[in-house]
Structure 1
């Protein structure tokens, strides 16, 4: 009898829209679960009773389908689609060339009993539909439904470092979501879900393969596979791009050279681009990693980056495509400073690149560290469009085991002042073109997406994908606002739980910096895999892949002198920053060891010595993770049980590894400082040699 009753209750639960299945993260932030709260339910239910769509096209159909799915899920009632407005509770999609928005922007407003989504283009209507649903998902009142917004950069790109064999370089969420062996015949339903998610946050470009590119993507076989993806993405406003191997004319074209000034090479690229556009008419363009970390490029033929980039741009001339040429280029120089490499390689060529070329610059001068000063290239190439490159995948941030909300990292870079046109000349204004009048603008994010059911491995990794898209659309949004949106759309709408989780998010990046690389330490991670601490690394394939190259610890102190008395990397910045960061006492503590070799006994602002402060930062990072664990435990009743347990277990891993980082770095740097760990801090219960052995085991292959 009890069993029968249980089955009946289960059936009733399913029939009324309940679900016994745990939240596995697959739906991302597009869950559209029913809104709770009688007053809000009534207000929304009367405001949205029908969707009015007077025209038909693939993109409008996508927008209408999303609105219908979203509204029915949020309201719990069917919302019909009709061609005529009733004047009561209609959501009207309206093309209006007079709207004061950009070509992809939208205006959502209330007009009587109707909600109008107005835009100049169908893309705007698509983005506006997602904008309306986001407003409702985050429980915003109807009185605030007056939204006018347009993207601040033109190309909002997601870079996949995915390989033809299904692996993902620096990917920690399973294998590639692209099933190259199945394409083009088999179209995985996940491709559509991927497109939905990107369109919902305004991403309009996808680079489907690794920057360490295989020339195989230039063959007809693979171009037709990419076409199949492009066909899925097109109604969602997303264009496909390809990373190209610079030596493709040799690798798959049968030529003896890839010299960009060789007429035969130029002709090969002209014909290849023509072939690509015959297969994919709205192809977006190329991304190129050249002469970097062993990848081939124009310098192999005694040519310049301009020669290589402009050759590809000229091949693109008849088409609406661009070339994104990465500035991540550095040579192995034991006596130099890798910090300076990008500026030295590209600054001399300002104004010489073809108008179709954007130079893609990492946010910092080294390589996606937990904290970096902004790259000195930003602001210093006024005649060359510079696009930002962020990394969503946590190559240096604990992979998919550490909870690190990256929006504060992105914002810290974007809000940094370059001073190139006086105070207030921010990196964001360089990137969005307003500072120098760039006609093409862009932002790229290295994807953290994989085949894991929840897309990003760590469930909170989704928030970094979401945050990147939102900031690429509008870099003035705050980290707090974006966090609150994602939490409400993905985890819970319970107010206290939202506040607690937002607090975890906002502290998480600083916690990671403290237990990994406080006070400006950088690049002391495990060799090659970049996992765990290895500050003692002194030998590698090249000097700038070692840790000692960067921290330069000795009996006197620690840190890299980049002032006039050292490498003088500071000379690449505006005079105001040279004056600030060039003086030890004026340098913000977060950048201290980036720019100065500092005595162990140097007195910090709080009165502690540098050594003491370094210890307190490492221990404080662990304490922060412990606090995150307690906070996460407190929201257990407000978050899906399976999802809560997943994050809780990963936080325990994060705590263990934060302690690993703390013990490794404090004990190692103590061999130079010769100073005791402060008395009020517990001493490590393992030796430095034991920790080194642990790292050695991690490095085994």
Structure 2
């Protein structure tokens, strides 16, 4: 790499300091703020540790690493750090690969590097020829970039870097964001503005946001992005759009971010002029092969297709009497020669009303185990319904040992308050990942299914439905950024504790001041449970408003099909409440392995957080607290509201510890959240009270309005529909 002139480095430093003074803290910089370290002792130690940067080798990815290190260190240390090709200082930061850097090669790290694979890296402190080196070493250039971001994270969170000795490698191969973005720039279930992708100005105008998006993803190890909605539009596969896709891919490539597209199954008819999309028809197979080859001429490292088929009205192979495996394999064959993959979603339900929608994906996919091509991942939502505030893990995990299953989490908060709610989702993700399927005996966690270790799968993946839009702060709610960050960190290493991820994000995004970090981290850790309590406690689910999914709607009934209503799921009556999924009901519990089935099927052994998911329970049933079910519901709903009020109090005490703009932003959103929490509590309790015929306990706050009032509310123009 060419050495940057000192004057340029000084200019970078000046601009960084100037921007720190003048630029509003609007959240645009995410967790990559790089403001000067405030702890004087740490700052001095960091300045002494890094006097010079050496990156030997030449590639766009190494250039990105050098630029990130120089920008980051300039800001964090408050002084320019020169770059060189050969050592001239005593304390040197050296980054590179053995094949591209003579310095790295001389350190004899071959054996250690074998363990970190193609994307991993080493961070080491060492001494050679009288000089002290801080080393970022990897087998590939992208590993160097990932290691560079890790090194900067250590400084941002004020860690000791004097005796580094760590190795890091991703546990999952494909770590992918799913953007539900439409070509008209609306975003389905998006609560942060319009789509990032400005199709009308691409390919000629490259927005700085595209570069910063790639930087942010690389900083947490995300290596793939699906640009378009799973409810796909075939036009994105036409040349006019492929040119635009190629422009984005060119921006993302240095940051290790591959582009994927959604494939509309009926595309051969809609844009190909064929009369059928039957996956076994030779003409259809030839069309997809030709189309895939065409895509690779625009994007040589195109990742492949994500497909939603035969679900919610989307076309698919079942239209022609074929199976999901038939459809997935056709597309897999089309991209295989170029190294592409197919991510085939298991979120399916037919046009016929099932006895229990929770059973449908298992019923359709379990019989197909072993029938998919080697380059197919079956993408399974974390729970068997649809991204509810809390669900038991999906029974497909562990049930298809011959097929790699890809986890699908939702980062955007469709059922979790949408864009107005502070909901830190790491505990929810971890609850699923740590659940034991018992597929191969005790310890067969969902995480082991997803990372391939349970059944020795080499192709592994995890997807997150993105919460990103063109709002200045990217995610609408400042704390929404934490879930983008969390997804990337857990996709890289699902063993990371929720507390550690929250700690990192808070320090990088706001401040290292423990007067701020400790109480706000505690607030984050309690936020998900609070939302479950004031929305869907004790295993309730799918009781939100119709269509837009905003606000409570436990009374929703009627319409084209029962499983689009709330009453289908809670089944409240004079005797009790809850969906009986035991053998006396839908018997959905039988889809789990026997130890799990026995636990969930037993009224006494079923974890109370899933109680009403699996059981129809009497209003007078005594729960673990000693209260009746009705009273426990009342206390759960009320505790959720109380926790939000505690969150407000905590945040109000943070005034002066963070910048005014973001402080006020979060404060106002917490005001909205408290109102919405009360709305949920009051509407649900008044509705369920019509069945229980029991009073709300005397010591609890009573609703301000009648049930008729809440049922009359009909929010208009809710974003993200």
Show the counterpart of 2:690: 671
1:490 aligned to 485, 509, 515, which one? 509
Are 1:241 and 2:260 matched, yes or no?
Answer: yes
Unmatched 5+ residue regions in structure 2?
1-13, 99-109
Distance in 2 (alpha carbons) for counterparts of 1:604 and 1:79: 62
Partner SS for 2:604: helix
Equivalences for 1:630-641 in 2 at 5 Å? 630-641=649-660
Distance in 1 (alpha carbons) for counterparts of 2:274 and 2:19: 62
Show the counterpart of 1:292: 311
For the Cα contact (< 8 Å) 1:333–1:544, is it kept in 2? no
For the Cα contact (< 8 Å) 1:326–1:359, is it kept in 2? yes
1:693, CA displacement in angstroms? Answer: 1.1
Aligned-residue CA RMSD (Å): 1.5
Show the counterpart of 1:361: 380
Show the counterpart of 1:592: 611
Equivalences for 1:4-403 in 2 at 5 Å? 18-86=20-88, 88-96=90-98, 97-98=110-111, 99=113, 100-112=115-127, 113-143=132-162, 145-334=164-353, 336-403=355-422
Show the counterpart of 1:453: 472
Show the counterpart of 1:9: none
Distance in 2 (alpha carbons) for counterparts of 1:206 and 1:237: 10
For the Cα contact (< 8 Å) 2:49–2:162, is it kept in 1? no
Show the counterpart of 2:665: 646
For the Cα contact (< 8 Å) 1:93–1:118, is it kept in 2? yes
Distance in 1 (alpha carbons) for counterparts of 2:421 and 2:510: 18
For the Cα contact (< 8 Å) 1:563–1:582, is it kept in 2? yes
For the Cα contact (< 8 Å) 2:221–2:488, is it kept in 1? yes
Partner SS for 2:21: coil
Distance in 1 (alpha carbons) for counterparts of 2:614 and 2:572: 14
Show the counterpart of 1:609: 628
1:21, CA displacement in angstroms? Answer: 3.3
1:55, CA displacement in angstroms? Answer: 1.2
For the Cα contact (< 8 Å) 2:52–2:89, is it kept in 1? no
Distance in 2 (alpha carbons) for counterparts of 1:699 and 1:274: 40
Distance in 1 (alpha carbons) for counterparts of 2:118 and 2:229: 30
Distance in 2 (alpha carbons) for counterparts of 1:221 and 1:334: 40
For the Cα contact (< 8 Å) 2:356–2:586, is it kept in 1? yes
TM-score by length of 1: 0.97
After superposition, give the CA deviation of every residue in 1:555-605 in whole Å (9 maximum; x if it has no partner). 000000101111000111010011111110111110000100000000011
TM-score by length of 2: 0.94
Distance in 2 (alpha carbons) for counterparts of 1:454 and 1:537: 34
Unmatched 5+ residue regions in structure 1?
1-11
Distance in 1 (alpha carbons) for counterparts of 2:73 and 2:51: 9
Distance in 1 (alpha carbons) for counterparts of 2:558 and 2:20: 58
Q: 1:686 to 1:697 in 2, by over 3 A?
A: farther
After superposition, give the CA deviation of every residue in 1:231-250 in whole Å (9 maximum; x if it has no partner). 00000011100001000000
For the Cα contact (< 8 Å) 2:20–2:35, is it kept in 1? no
Show the counterpart of 2:103: none
Distance in 2 (alpha carbons) for counterparts of 1:14 and 1:128: 23
For the Cα contact (< 8 Å) 2:424–2:482, is it kept in 1? yes
Are 1:534 and 2:553 matched, yes or no?
Answer: yes
For the Cα contact (< 8 Å) 2:74–2:81, is it kept in 1? yes
For the Cα contact (< 8 Å) 1:333–1:543, is it kept in 2? no
Distance in 2 (alpha carbons) for counterparts of 1:83 and 1:539: 71
After superposition, give the CA deviation of every residue in 1:430-450 in whole Å (9 maximum; x if it has no partner). 000000111200000000000
1:14, CA displacement in angstroms? Answer: 9.2
For the Cα contact (< 8 Å) 1:522–1:551, is it kept in 2? yes
Q: 1:607 to 1:241 in 2, by over 3 A?
A: same
Q: 1:17 to 1:548 in 2, by over 3 A?
A: closer
Equivalences for 1:490-509 in 2 at 5 Å? 490-509=509-528
Partner SS for 1:313: helix
Q: 1:205 to 1:679 in 2, by over 3 A?
A: same
Equivalences for 1:423-434 in 2 at 5 Å? 423-434=442-453
